[in-house]
């Protein structure tokens, strides 16, 4: 099966093939720009067995998303908070972010815009849905063949670093794939493969642990991804993990035996509950202040915090002190909140396993 396939119903098959191809090209360009991941072409196929006004998105042959109310000749109108008067039309649920919308004939698009609605064309709905599905499953697109392609691009310009990493130090491409997928999971662009490989080469004499190497790569790429968290005013508004909590978490960090699994905090059920509640509370405080939650912690604990957040609470950015230090001359750092959990103390019941 194709890595990504779009199946469309009977009525949607009347959409301009050029329009759909243009949207799928846009999707691939968007993902390449954001993640540095060159996706293969997206297969578009008619499917008479699904709803005539619907579509399905398949990932490696498995259906992962779909929608059945994308009527031709209609547009989807969304209330973004600036609507002055309610629009009369068919009330439906927008498929990507599951927000309420209203479907009206396309000849009423200007009327909807004048009332403050965001008007979305059918092809734009499909485009947005594809992008979100790819982002949620980004690591499923990086196979060994693509890793080899990325390595070969570096080899053409900098063969010495490729030889250093894979031949002199006997570092496997499978381990590189693991590191790249970890970076992608946290939204880090992997386009700068030359810097990634040079960083790995620089630290291979110290460690071959993929987690430690991934953290070193992040520190080198900090200038690339951190500015997105600061905004135009060059100010980082962060939630800092307190020193006391950091010391307690260091005692509870658990490293799985498999080198392909990320560390996490081995907390008791009571500690887990209070830890999660405290994080959600601090995140809510940040949002009330108008800032997105960004967590700051010492570098040795960053991976475990990020992994714990992503698997249990939400994919909020976690940055380390070393990453922030690398750009501190150009940015201002404001600690808006400090994360402390009284129930998690040093010399608690957790264990540290290496």
Beta-bridge partners for 55: 8, 67
The pLDDT of residue 195 is above 90: yes
Residue 232 exposed, middle or buried by CB count within 10 Å (0-12, 13-18, 19+): exposed
User: Could you give the percent of the chain with pLDDT greater than 90?
Assistant: 82
Which secondary-structure segment (H or E) carries 258?
A: none
pTM here is: 0.89
Quickly state the pLDDT bin for 150 (edges 50, 70, 90). very high
Instruction: Average the pLDDT over 115-132 and give the result.
Output: 95
Mean pLDDT, the chain, integer: 92
List of residues 6+ apart from 96 with CB closer than 8 A: 125, 128, 129, 132
The pLDDT of residue 351 is above 80: no
* Residue with token string 């720009």: 33
Instruction: Average the pLDDT over 341-346 and give the result.
Output: 90
Cα distance between residue 159 and residue 196, in whole Å = 14
Tell me phi and psi for residue 25, to 5 degrees.
Answer: -65, -40
User: How far separated are the first and last CA of the chain, in Å rounded?
Assistant: 40
Cα distance between residue 68 and residue 212, in whole Å = 46
Residue 239: alpha-carbon gap to chain centroid:
20
Q: What is the pLDDT of residues 39-97, one digit of tens each?
A: 999 999 999 999 999 999 999 999 999 999 999 899 999 998 889 999 999 999 999 99
DSSP 85: S
Cα distance between residue 224 and residue 52, in whole Å = 44
Distances (CA, A) of 321 to 215, 238, 251, 333: 12, 11, 19, 11
Instruction: Average the pLDDT over 143-167 and give the result.
Output: 95
């Amino acid at each position: 099966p194709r890595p990504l396939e779009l199946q469309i119903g009977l009525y949607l098959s009347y959409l301009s093939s050029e329009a759909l191809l243009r949207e799928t090209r846009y999707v691939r360009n968007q993902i390449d720009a954001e993640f540095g991941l060159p996706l293969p072409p997206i297969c578009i196929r008619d499917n008479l067995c699904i709803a005539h006004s619907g579509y399905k998105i398949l990932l490696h042959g498995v259906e992962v998303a779909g929608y059945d109310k994308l009527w031709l000749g209609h547009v989807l109108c969304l209330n973004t908070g600036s609507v002055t008067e309610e629009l009369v039309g068919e009330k439906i649920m927008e498929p990507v972010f599951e927000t309420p919308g209203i479907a009206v004939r396309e000849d009423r698009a200007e009327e909807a815009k004048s009332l403050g609605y965001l008007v979305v064309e059918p092809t734009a709905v499909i485009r947005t849905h594809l992008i979100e599905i790819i982002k949620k499953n980004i690591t499923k697109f990086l196979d060994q063949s693509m890793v080899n392609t990325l390595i070969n691009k570096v080899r053409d310009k900098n063969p010495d670093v490729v030889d250093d990493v894979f031949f002199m130090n006997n570092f496997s491409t499978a381990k590189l794939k693991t590191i790249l997928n970890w970076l992608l999971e946290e939204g880090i662009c992997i386009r700068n493969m030359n810097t990634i490989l040079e960083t790995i080469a620089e630290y291979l004499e110290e460690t071959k642990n993929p987690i430690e190497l991934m953290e070193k790569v992040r520190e080198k790429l900090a200038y690339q991804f951190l500015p997105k968290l600061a905004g135009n005013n060059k100010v980082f508004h962060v939630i800092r993990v307190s020193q006391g909590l950091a010391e307690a978490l260091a005692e509870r960090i658990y490293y799985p035996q498999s080198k392909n699994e990320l560390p996490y905090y081995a907390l008791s059920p009571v500690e887990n509950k209070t830890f999660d509640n405290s994080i959600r509370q601090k995140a809510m405080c940040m949002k009330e202040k108008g800032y997105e939650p960004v967590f700051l912690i010492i570098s040795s604990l960053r991976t475990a915090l990020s992994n714990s957040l992503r698997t249990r609470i939400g994919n909020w950015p976690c940055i380390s002190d070393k990453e922030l230090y690398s750009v501190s001359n150009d940015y201002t750092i404001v600690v808006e909140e400090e994360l402390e959990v009284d129930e998690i103390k040093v010399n608690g019941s957790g264990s540290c396993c290496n």
